[in-house]
Amino acid sequence: MKKTVQLLGLAFGIGLSFAPAAFVWKKPETKPVAPSQASPPNILLIFVDDLGWADLSSYGSEYYETPNIDALAAGGVKFTDAYAAAAICSPSRSALMSGKYPSRTGITDWIRASFQNAEARYDGKSKQEYERDLKQKLIVPPIPFELPLSEKTTAEYLKEQGYFTAFIGKWHLGLETHYPDKQGFDVNIGGCDFGQPPSYFDPYENARTKGIPTLPARKEGEYLTDREGDEVINLIRKNKGGSFFINYAPYAVHTPLGGKPELIEKYKAKSPAKGQGNPVYAAMIESLDQNVGRILAELKAQNLLENTLVIFTSDNGGLEGNPNNPITNNPPFRSGKGFPYEGGIRVPFIVSWPGQIAPRVSGSPAITMDIFNTILETAGTRPDRAIPNDGVSLLAHLRTGKPLPTRDLFWHFPHYRYEEVTPYNIVRSGYWKLIHNYEDDSDELYNLKDDIDETRNVASRLPKKRQELRGKLDGFLERTGAKVPVPR
């Protein structure tokens, strides 16, 4: 049964005021042991918004500074070939909650918020851009405005296992009737229909929107990422006696860009590197890193670190932004958020569990839905057999290095994104990657083993491989009931 009571983040009476810049978390010196049969492990899922694969120093950045996240990677399994379920936010978030490809839920594009006229949908008067733009060659399918309550979410599975469940940060999966507290979370702090915060500073307002509905103002000028970090720490303290699942989905590092002035000045003094040089974005990343460090330190202080699975990843690739004033760059990959190339879909992915997972680097391909299955197995349960599921549990791979099953990965985006991106779908099969473009029925074929930046399209030279992968895409669309664009 879906919960109907929403609890707002009020800092639970604990006024935390840290100076996170002075702290760097250090990975514990532990060795893997046999799985414990004591209390069910805690699970902390950190699902960052718009963080690119190359936005961490542990993934190659020479401009951004992320010592706490780097320590997490050094103490756990760092994936090099991990993917978001989509190149934009809402589809990946639906995949995380449901364990399904976005094409199954129909959430293949970002969901509009109430201030973007989503409420009109409920009286049949909604007019979204896919209905208005007559310049587009194709009519693209409409999407649901929410993750249906009929979907059994990660939180609902864990509630059945006796977990306390909490959501902090960006939800972006529907209006108030579909907020996290209606989808299995005991506590919802900040989760609403917004895809981005009005502002990163309390009271989180702009000219159009007055605050975040589920995050009451607390201290004028307080930085949003610090506030979220406080709320996570408070929840850990209040629930340290039982098993908890905390889904921390920071609004950072999504636009509108906004960082702490002292950190912005710090990065203004640094030289750009590898196409990364936006001081405001860098300040946002450092604030994120500081709060990850604070949260890990709290787990350690409460003697919970060795009984907590920590997962860190992003919902899509980094946003490149205006070429004249770029936000970030995603080397060595091509392009960024929204695009079908690796820069749009490949993301950082780190899993840590001291005493259970030995530190190493994994080159096995993984995708957002795998997090769903991994969390369920960690909690001692599995997806209902009657419900379609598109992920695999990574737990054995994490613990022992057991190879993951050979499989193909798919993406389906039957929409337009501004003037730069037209409808597409993708299959990765081994090192081969095929991008199908709907507008002209063309294909791009790349071998990621020797063409990681996707500059050599070999589709015309390898017609059999192209045909094979097109067949796999067709099968995927049929299996998942995917909706496709049609000629105007």
> pLDDT of 85-132, one tens digit each?
999 999 999 999 999 999 999 999 999 887 766 555 545 444 454 454
Does 465 reside within a domain? no
Per-residue pLDDT reduced to its tens digit, 139-191: 999 999 899 999 999 999 999 999 999 999 999 999 999 999 999 999 999 99
Number of H helices, E strands in the chain: 12, 16
Q: Provide the CATH number for the domain around residue 157.
A: 3.40.720.10
Does 302 reside within a domain? yes
192 an active-site residue? no
Domain that holds residue 193: 41-405
Which pLDDT does position 26 carry in this prediction? 63
Q: What single-letter amino acid sits at 116? A: Q
Does 440 reside within a domain? no
Of 114, 166, 188, 99, which Cα lies nearest the Cα of 145? 114
Question: Is the model's pLDDT at 377 over the cut of 80?
Answer: yes
Joined together, the tokens standing for residue 439 give 């507008």
Do the beta carbons of residue 235 and residue 166 sit within 8 Å?
yes
Question: Is the model's pLDDT at 27 over the cut of 90?
Answer: no
- Active-site residue, from 89, 192, 397, 436: 89
How many percent of the chain have pLDDT more than 70? 88
Question: Is the model's pLDDT at 20 over the cut of 60?
Answer: no
Mean pLDDT of 394-408: 97
Count of structural domains, the chain: 1
Which pLDDT does position 101 carry in this prediction? 99
Q: Which comes out higher in pLDDT, residue 38 or 305?
A: 305
Which pLDDT does position 5 carry in this prediction? 36
pLDDT category at 411 given cuts 50, 70, 90 is very high
Joined together, the tokens standing for residue 486 give 């049609």
pTM for this entry: 0.92
pLDDT category at 135 given cuts 50, 70, 90 is confident
Residue 461's Cβ-count burial label (10 Å; 0-12, 13-18, 19+) is: exposed
Q: Which comes out higher in pLDDT, residue 34 or 217?
A: 217
Does 261 reside within a domain? yes
Does 417 reside within a domain? no
pLDDT category at 488 given cuts 50, 70, 90 is confident
Q: What is the mean pLDDT of the chain?
A: 91
Q: What gap in Å lies between CA 119 and CA 435, rounded to an integer? A: 34
Does 289 reside within a domain? yes
89 an active-site residue? yes
Does 339 reside within a domain? yes
Q: What gap in Å lies between CA 335 and CA 313, rounded to an integer? A: 19
Does 429 reside within a domain? no
- Active-site residue, from 172, 178, 254, 436: 172
